[in-house]
Amino acid sequence: MMKDIAELPLPDAQRILIDAARPMATEVISTRSALGRVLAEDIVTPYAFPDTPRSAVDGYALNQVGLSNYQIVATLGAGQLPEQPLHAGQAAAVMTGATVPQGSIAVVRVEDVAVDGNLLTVQSEVKKKENINRIGEEMEAGVCILQAGTRLTPVNFSVLCCAGIAEVKVHCLPRVGILVTGDEVLQLGQTHKPGSVFDSNRHFLVSSLAQLGIECQVLGPVKDNEVTIRESLEQLSAQCDLVITSGGVSMGKYDFIRPLLQSSGYRMLVNRTKIKPGRPLMVASKDDTLFFGMPGYPTACLVNFFYFLLPAVKRMMGLNDVLPPTRKVRLADDLKGRKGRWDVLRMQVKGEPGDVLAYRAASQLTSHFMNMGMCDGLVLLGGECDGINSGTEVDLLDFALQF
């Protein structure tokens, strides 16, 4: 039987979890399938950009400036390599992105010339180096363009593609198992029964993790039966890097998760936190599997997800920045909390960029969840804080910034 650990302050619990959630092993995969994955290596430019001197416009590369007439000796499209250098008085028609011939000193735009057969007349002043992108102008070879620990978004993914990098070393995605518990928990589509609840935690967790590219194996809802829960946990632990349960972590007669883990050789990392909602969260580890016991109340599950589970998952994925991102908002209402506790309040945000006001949702009860649908994020009142006055600027954990 394991020793009970006291309720932890939020920052302590976060630190323990981030330490315990080790980054997954790495694999080399095709860049084509790497969108959303986290780089396990720095990416450097394989050659200089550009690797040949290129024209920035559709125009004429000139061997010297200051003449009014030139002889056109070649026409070059992008991708074509010039066969001959330009000599005095010569010009080459070049398209945007084309490699300019050796000896080119500037490119004049088609709009600024007149052409008669092979005779080019320049009608504007041309400056040396104008409209030529020199070799290595953007970047030399071997320069870091993306750092290890970066998640590949469409923007930086396309940078990788631009550099022609066809394979990348990334962290493997964690295999995640979810066990939903509760006699009263119905699956979506079943007929409502008085006294029952529909399973929302499963869908919240599965859809949230899907935003990170993670597919979950889900068991349940299973009955609050010790044998069934033990067998389901064993099955998931054998196959997963991360096991998440929903429900059954408080003090009731049917709350089997905590005693079950305590008697099954799990190492307790967090056994309750000083957070409201979400206090009964328990986190444990066994071999290489991390275990999160989430409270059944959807609000408590959501809060624990954003402050604890998501940072741990991000760390397993290999991300550098794992704590919840926030943005500044101004409070429209007074907020109250209790000293010694980390109170999490759900907020609705309105207003223009630059003057965003955050309104406290009327109900903050853990047992209420429906108003979350109209909320935009969470505000945290730290351990020593028992309230914040309206008008104060605070950090909002904006749901939209988390994935």
Residues that bind ligand MOO (CB under 6 A): 276-279, 295, 297, 300, 366
Closest approach of Cβ 183 to ligand LQZAQKY5, in Å? 9
* Rounded Cα–Cα distance for residues 169 and 46 (Å): 15
Binder to ligand LQZAQKY5 among 101, 174, 182, 324 (CB under 6 A)? Answer: 182
Considering the complex, state which of residue 82 and residue 337 has its C-beta at the smaller distance from ligand LQZAQKY5.
337
Q: Does 251 bind ligand LQZAQKY5 (CB under 6 A)?
A: yes
* The only residue of 45, 246, 273, 289 in contact with ligand LQZAQKY5, by rule CB under 6 A: 246
Query: Which one, of 34, 316, 23, lies nearest residue 169 by Cα?
Result: 34
CB atoms within 10 A of CB 144: 11
Any contact of residue 235 with ligand LQZAQKY5 (CB under 6 A)? Answer: no
Q: In sequence order, which residues have a C-beta less than 8 Å from that of residue 194 and are 6 or more positions away?
A: none
**Number of CB atoms found within 10 A of residue 395's CB:** 15
By CB under 6 A, the count of residues binding ligand LQZAQKY5 is 26
DSSP type of residue 313: H
Distance of CA 107 to the CA centre of its chain: 43
SS3 114: strand
Binding mask 331-350 toward ligand LQZAQKY5 (x if CB under 6 A, else -) reads --------------------
Residue 133 Cβ vs ligand LQZAQKY5, minimum distance, rounded to whole Å? 58
CA-to-CA dists, residue 301 to 56, 178, 248, 372, angstroms: 55, 13, 12, 12
With CB under 5 to 8 Å by kind, the binding choice for 171 among ligand MOO, ligand LQZAQKY5, none is: none
Which residue in the shown chain puts its C-beta closest to ligand LQZAQKY5? 296
Q: Using an 8 Å Cβ cutoff, are 295 and 249 in contact?
A: yes
Binding site for ligand LQZAQKY5 (CB under 6 A): 180, 182, 184-185, 197, 199-202, 246-252, 255, 277, 279-280, 295-298, 300, 366
